[in-house]
């Protein structure tokens, strides 16, 4: 397992579902350079937290993390297919 070390910035106008799919593809490509085919297969996935259509990035510090948790408090959370 190896981190991808890519720019995870969301593009202007990029909707959350497109963003998370692009992140998974870019992470797979970045990691695949270390594991050449056909000897290896690379599987990548990503997860994002979205509130009111806005992707919340990784917390920058403890205060930011606590703010994100407060925003999530009392809300139902899940992925695109969650019920």
Residues classed as catalytic: 46
Neighbouring residues of 14: CB distance < 8 A, sequence distance ≥ 6: 22
């Amino acid at each position: 397992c190896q981190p991808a070390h890519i720019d995870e910035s969301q593009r202007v106008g990029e909707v959350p579902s497109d963003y998370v799919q692009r992140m998974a593809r870019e992470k797979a490509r970045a990691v695949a350079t270390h594991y050449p085919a056909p000897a290896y297969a690379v599987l990548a996935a990503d997860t994002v937290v979205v509130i009111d259509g806005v992707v919340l990035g990784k917390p920058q510090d403890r205060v930011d993390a606590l703010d994100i948790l407060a925003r999530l408090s009392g809300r139902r959370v899940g992925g695109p297919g969650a019920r």
